[in-house]
Structure 1
Amino acid sequence: MSTVLTEDATTDAPPVPPGIEARDLKRAFGEVRAVDGITFTAPAGAVTALIGPNGSGKTTLLLLLSGLLAADEGTAKIAGYDVATQNLQARSQIGWMPDVFGTWDALTCTEILTTFAHAYRLDRANTSNRVAEMLDLVHLSEFADRPARVLSRGQKQRLGLARALVHDPAVLLLDEPASGLDPRSRVELRHLLRGLAEQGKTVLVSSHVLAELEELYDHAVFLSKGRTVDLAEAAQPAAAGRGWRIEALDPTELRSFLDGAGIPWLPGPGTAEVTVPLAGVESASELIRAAVSAGVSLHTVAPLSGRLEEAYLSLNEERV
């Protein structure tokens, strides 16, 4: 039996705001425009990947969103709160995890999390349970009463994540959260972040490990020279076919061959690599035959690992 909603049955409840909303954010340091008009939204209940090469403005953007750095122009909202005019309300909704999490090495893990719980004015009667829950979540229960100085780099990263979650924030800003983690901990982190998104939280993750983001993200925001690049635009080379990585003994010879044949290419991560959009294995075979006939010595022809990597390599600033 179907139900037809009449006009009277509609709800007047206001729409749920995006977890993160940035509009024309700008921030300069002297002559350097670190963030130069960034606009994007990150919805609640999803993982949004923040991607860009070094110097593209990722960390500065996260600092602006967290309220730790003031924007020169533009607006940023966290869970509907304006970061500039409603700073305390916005920051109360944020779980911030920087790339390097500083610790008070003389304090125990429990003491560190308890200090942050009190700073966020959590109910003191429930603080000890919440702290224990967070330590268990990041598999640090055995270090609860040990000083932070005994923790490894990866363990400190996990403690940083627990610190970001202790007050149950609506929005997570994570800068390289997998840095220093072993393979098993990386897998556990992916499952944890996906679970948090499924609970309705907004998760914004900045990372250079694109293969891991590929298994995690729902949306992607690409940055280039302090500006947002539309995902559809960034992925255009992949639209003509999947990207393939090609390496030759003489990179200059390979690039000259591709230019002469009118085949578009982009430089890869390595100095000897280029990336070429190809329709499939047949197109790859044709290119190999043509290159060999032209005297180009190829030693690697392989498809790229994922969509994010293809899009990343298509950013204009990567072209040399």
Structure 2
Amino acid sequence: MIPYHSDNAVIELRRLHRSFGKTRAVNDVSFSVPRGTVFGYIGPNGAGKTTSMRILATLELPTLGDAYVDGFSVVNDPDHVRRRLGFMPDAFGTYPSVNCHEYIDFYARAYGLAGRQRHQRVRWVMDFTRLDGIAEKPIRGLSKGMKQRLCLGRALVHDPAVLILDEPAAGLDPRARIELRRMIRALAEDGKTVLVSSHILTELAEMCDRVGIIEQGRLLATGSVDEIQRQQRTHREFVVRVIDHRDTAVQMLESNDHVSHLIVDGELVRFQYEGDVTHQATLLASLIAAGVSVAEFSSHARSLEDVFMQVTEGLVQ
């Protein structure tokens, strides 16, 4: 079977639909993820994230459309897809009577690894996930963080090109989340393509190269956080501290076409500004030239959480 390739895309959804009765869990979703990219998939509960991921993992069939993993169709070539993909679901089954090493080794055998190759992959997975120190520990005695490492190890044991991680940081303590984030970035730097969903948007903002925002089954925006901000005409928020001639500053700002949502709070003047850095420099220079005593002139781009709240409406289905 010859794989289908679209530029450098390793994950590609093409007009994907999935319906359950009258509910359209995934409604005409299309996006692609290049090799070596960490793609954050975010949306409210019931938005269609898990359904999309299950389709990519060949656990669900689309109603319409198709998805490709490393060039192979999830509809026509599911066996080829499974060899190239590692799936980490939000909940997974374990066997309480086996230990960590036995668990990983079992899945290595299930993927057809044998002999020296199997031993090398199991050893690498145990080392990468830092489970080697507890290799003989029964699974029933593992913490939530260690169980998540074990599930990630299971997804990695056959050396897939693509990883699909559904809420991998759910229930983890701060240290475990940081360590998981570092592992995901290391995998991307090694050339693996990662699609990860999470409700912890600050985590995604720090680890992801690109994000996709989905609600009620529809993809609302995709790209880097900066790109989505530009798509949504998201302005930067500015704070100016004025210690003299405040009224002059307010009049100048109110007459500026790039300024909106101006609020005066004592010495502080807050507003949203859509101009680029050249316009920002010109604005500051004009305030100073008009005799305004500016003690502070600062801005910050809106976070992924801000963008998420702007793009979505909190709708469920």
Q: Fold conserved (TM > 0.5)? A: yes
AA of the residue aligned to 1:190? R
Match of 2:191 in 1: 200
Contact 2:221 / 2:228 at 8 angstroms: preserved in 1?
yes
CA deviation after TM superposition for structure 1 residue 146, in Å = 2.1
Match of 2:304 in 1: 308
Change beyond 3 A, Cα 1:203–1:284: farther
Match of 2:235 in 1: 240
Cα shift readout 1:195-215 (whole Å, capped 9, x = no counterpart): 111111111110011111111
Kindly report which structure 2 residues correspond to 1:204-283, keeping only aligned pairs within 5 A, or say none.
Answer: 204-231=195-222, 239-242=234-237
Q: 2:68 aligns with which of 54, 61, 77?
A: 77
Change beyond 3 A, Cα 1:18–1:287: closer
CA deviation after TM superposition for structure 1 residue 115, in Å = 1.3
- The whole-number CA distance in structure 1 between the counterparts of 2:18 and 2:266 is 45
CA deviation after TM superposition for structure 1 residue 109, in Å = 1.1
Match of 1:42 in 2: 33
SS in 1 for 2:207: coil
Cα shift readout 1:78-134 (whole Å, capped 9, x = no counterpart): 000011101100111001000112211111111111111111112332312321221
Identity among equivalent positions (%) equals 41
Which stretches of structure 1, 4 residues or more, deviate above 6 A after TM superposition? 279-284
- The whole-number CA distance in structure 2 between the counterparts of 1:135 and 1:103 is 17
AA of the residue aligned to 2:41? L
* TM-score normalised by length of structure 2: 0.74
Match of 2:77 in 1: 86
CA deviation after TM superposition for structure 1 residue 137, in Å = 1.4
* TM-score normalised by length of structure 1: 0.74
The aligned length equals 261
SS in 2 for 1:21: strand
Change beyond 3 A, Cα 1:281–1:120: farther
For the pair 1:52 / 2:47, whether they are aligned, the reply is: no
Alignment RMSD (CA, Å): 3.0
- The whole-number CA distance in structure 2 between the counterparts of 1:150 and 1:77 is 38
- The whole-number CA distance in structure 2 between the counterparts of 1:284 and 1:92 is 62
Contact 2:263 / 2:269 at 8 angstroms: preserved in 1?
no
Match of 1:247 in 2: none
Match of 1:30 in 2: 21
CA deviation after TM superposition for structure 1 residue 154, in Å = 1.6
| Higher mean C-alpha displacement, 215-224 vs 141-150 | 141-150
SS in 1 for 2:105: helix
- The whole-number CA distance in structure 2 between the counterparts of 1:305 and 1:234 is 9
Change beyond 3 A, Cα 1:217–1:127: same
Kindly report which structure 2 residues correspond to 1:115-126, keeping only aligned pairs within 5 A, or say none.
Answer: 115-126=106-117
For the pair 1:187 / 2:173, whether they are aligned, the reply is: no
SS in 2 for 1:19: strand
AA of the residue aligned to 1:241? R
Cα shift readout 1:13-42 (whole Å, capped 9, x = no counterpart): x87541100011111111111111111101
- The whole-number CA distance in structure 2 between the counterparts of 1:25 and 1:237 is 24
Match of 1:137 in 2: 128
Contact 2:105 / 2:118 at 8 angstroms: preserved in 1?
yes
For the pair 1:168 / 2:163, whether they are aligned, the reply is: no
Match of 1:274 in 2: none
SS in 2 for 1:317: coil
Change beyond 3 A, Cα 1:24–1:136: same
CA deviation after TM superposition for structure 1 residue 193, in Å = 1.1
- The whole-number CA distance in structure 1 between the counterparts of 2:261 and 2:67 is 40
Gaps of 5+ in 2: 240-259, 272-298
- The whole-number CA distance in structure 2 between the counterparts of 1:167 and 1:281 is 59
- The whole-number CA distance in structure 2 between the counterparts of 1:181 and 1:209 is 11
Contact 1:241 / 1:279 at 8 angstroms: preserved in 2?
no
Gaps of 5+ in 1: 1-13, 245-276, 289-302
